[in-house]
Amino acid sequence: MLYLGGLSGAGVLTYGGATAGPAEYDFDGFMTKNGQVAGSGEIRMSSEALRGAFGRKDLQLRTADGRVLNLLFSDKQLRSQGNAAHVDVAGELPPASNWPR
């Protein structure tokens, strides 16, 4: 995989048509062997909202710039009282040429 750069910002996390709450994100982008852009990184939000969203398969983050990113939690368990979790990212990621380095 080829490292493309990082993205960070804020947005709103949703699942099943409901709003989980505001979230901040910090993602790294990579180009896979088959030429696809993939991401992974961390989201941060209130611990209560994070607990409610953890483990769901239908998570989406709408970023402040209008992108809709599909998120999947990487960890099997959420850290107790934590307000951050690691996620894998897909969806409307920037093309490889548009990642800030």
What pTM does this model have? 0.89
Longest dimension (CA), the chain: 38
Domain-embedded: residue 73: yes
Domain-embedded: residue 7: yes
Is 33 within 8 Å of 98 (Cβ atoms)? Answer: no
The lowest-confidence range among 34-38, 60-64, 80-84 is 80-84
Is 42 within 8 Å of 7 (Cβ atoms)? Answer: no
Using 50, 70 and 90 to split pLDDT, how confident is the model at 100?
A: confident
Domain-embedded: residue 9: yes
Domain that includes residue 58, residue range: 2-94
Tokens coding 57: 């398969």
Question: Domains in the chain: how many in total?
Answer: 1
DSSP state of 79: P
> What's the CA dihedral at 18, 91, 86, 26 to 10 degrees?
-100
pLDDT at 80 over 70: no
Domain-embedded: residue 100: no
- The helix/strand/coil state of 39 is strand
